[in-house]
Copies of this chain bind each other. A is one copy, B any other.
Amino acid sequence: LTSSGEAHMVSVTLKSDTSRRAIAIGHVAFSNSETLLAVKNALIKKGDVLGTARLAGIMAAKNCPALIPLCHPILITAVNVDVRLVEPTAKTGDHGGVEVEAEVQCTGKTGVEMEALTSVTGALLTVIDMVKAVDKGTRMTDVRMVLKEGGRSGRWVDAAWENKSN
């Protein structure tokens, strides 16, 4: 038995504590035209879709080290989750859906990319949970990191996203 390929939590012991930030985005695409209307008109039986998804996203960021086996625990210092209903677009397809953007900050030895991605995912899963009684075909799509700042590797940004944001 060799140790090659064996899972482990890589050491960040020697890294320095710096301010770090990450932003991730993602989408839910509805599969029929009534879902968007039902959310807009507050007709979803489970209640407020966007507000519940936002809080789920915030709390998911804190649950990241419990979900992702090799993630380091980290002290998050800020979480912003933006949850928006969107009309039909290239991303969400013919029936519109929901767009989520999550920003997470920390001061620590490792980045918060996974926290931002887990936050987006928690918010999107919550949207699916809330609309699934009226839309079983909802899908989560295009979830990814778009910005990462701080740490030795410096700033990384998705150019397309940055252009669109400006």
Closest residue of B by beta carbon distance from A82: B3
Residues on the B chain within 8 Å of A74, using CB:
75
Interface residues of A in 106-134 (CB under 8 A from B): 106-109, 113-114, 117-118, 121-122, 125-126, 128-130, 132
Jot down 17 A-B pairs with beta carbons below 8 A, ordered by A: A1-B84, A4-B42, A5-B48, A8-B47, A8-B79, A13-B77, A51-B51, A52-B70, A58-B69, A59-B59, A62-B73, A67-B125, A73-B75, A117-B125, A136-B156, A139-B142, A143-B143
Interface residues of A (CB under 8 A from B): 1, 3-13, 15, 19, 26, 42, 44-48, 50-52, 54-56, 58-63, 65-82, 84-85, 105-109, 113-114, 117-118, 121-122, 125-126, 128-130, 132, 136-145, 148, 156, 158
